[in-house]
A = this chain, B = another copy of it.
Amino acid sequence: MIITLKKGAPKQEIEKLHRHFEDKGLKVSLIYGDNFDVFGLVGDTSRLYDRDILANEWVANVQRVSAPYKLANRMFHPEDTIVDVGGVKIGGTSPIVIMAGPCAVESKEQILRIGQEVKDAGASLLRGGAYKPRTSPYSFQGMGYEGLLALKEAGNAVGLPIVSELMSADKIDEFAENADLVQIGARNMQNFDLLKAVGHMKKPVLLKRGMSATIEDWIMSAEYIMANGNPNVIFCERGIRTFEKYTRNTMDLAVIPILKERTHLPVVIDPSHATGSWSLIEPMALAAVAAGADGLMIEVHDKPEEALSDGAQSLKPEKFHTLIEDCRKVAAAVGREIA
Contact = CB atoms under 8 A, between A and B. Distances in A.
Interface stretch (A120-128, A145-153, A277-285): A277-285
List the number of copies, as a whole number: 4
Contact of A31 (B33, B42, B170, B276): B42
A170 B188 CA distance: 16
Interface in A77-93: none
A35 B188 CA distance: 33
Interface in A233-277: 240-247, 250-254, 256-258, 261, 274-277
B240 A250 contact: yes
A177 interface: no
Q: Which 9 A-B pairs have the closest CB atoms?
A: A55-B311, A212-B212, A290-B290, A54-B312, A287-B287, A187-B190, A333-B333, A329-B333, A168-B193
Interface of A: 2, 4, 29, 31-36, 38, 40, 42-43, 46-47, 49, 51-52, 54-57, 61, 63, 65-66, 68, 75, 131, 133-139, 141, 167-170, 187-188, 190-194, 196, 210-212, 214-217, 220, 223-224, 227-228, 240-247, 250-254, 256-258, 261, 274-280, 283-284, 286-292, 304-305, 307-314, 326, 329-330, 332-334
